[in-house]
Amino acid sequence: MDAPARKCLTHHQPDAIEKTGAPLYVSCMTGFLDVLLYILMAVVFVILCVGVYSLVRGGDFGRSWSNRLMRARVLFQFLAVLVIVAGFWAKGAFGS
């Protein structure tokens, strides 16, 4: 593991401030939120594609899966919005 990654895993030390003025754990947290956001966006995209497929296919598959997929998509979109808000808060509050 390289040195920057090890610094992310250690506890905050008062003298460990990046050039932006943010503690190292904040930089790691915002990096984690960025990765989590990309994962959530990919999940939403896949659910949306499967939902469109269920509409095109129709029949029993469409009836049984369309409502479940819509609920799952709304849930993951909500989680993505929460991650976006947390990222803006972290970057605004700590200036990273």
% of the chain beyond a pLDDT of 70: 66
Q: What is the pLDDT of residues 67-80, one digit of tens each?
A: 899 999 999 999 99
C-alpha 31, offset from chain centre? 10
Residue 10 predicted with pLDDT over 50:
no
Q: How far apart are the first and last CA of the chain?
A: 23
Q: What is the mean pLDDT of residues 44-54?
A: 93
Q: What is the mean pLDDT of the chain?
A: 77
DSSP the chain: --HHHHHHHSPP-TT-B-TTS-BHHHHHHHHHHHHHHHHHHHHHHHHHHHHHHHHHH-HHHHHHHHHHHHHHHHHHHHHHHHHHHHHHHHHHHH--
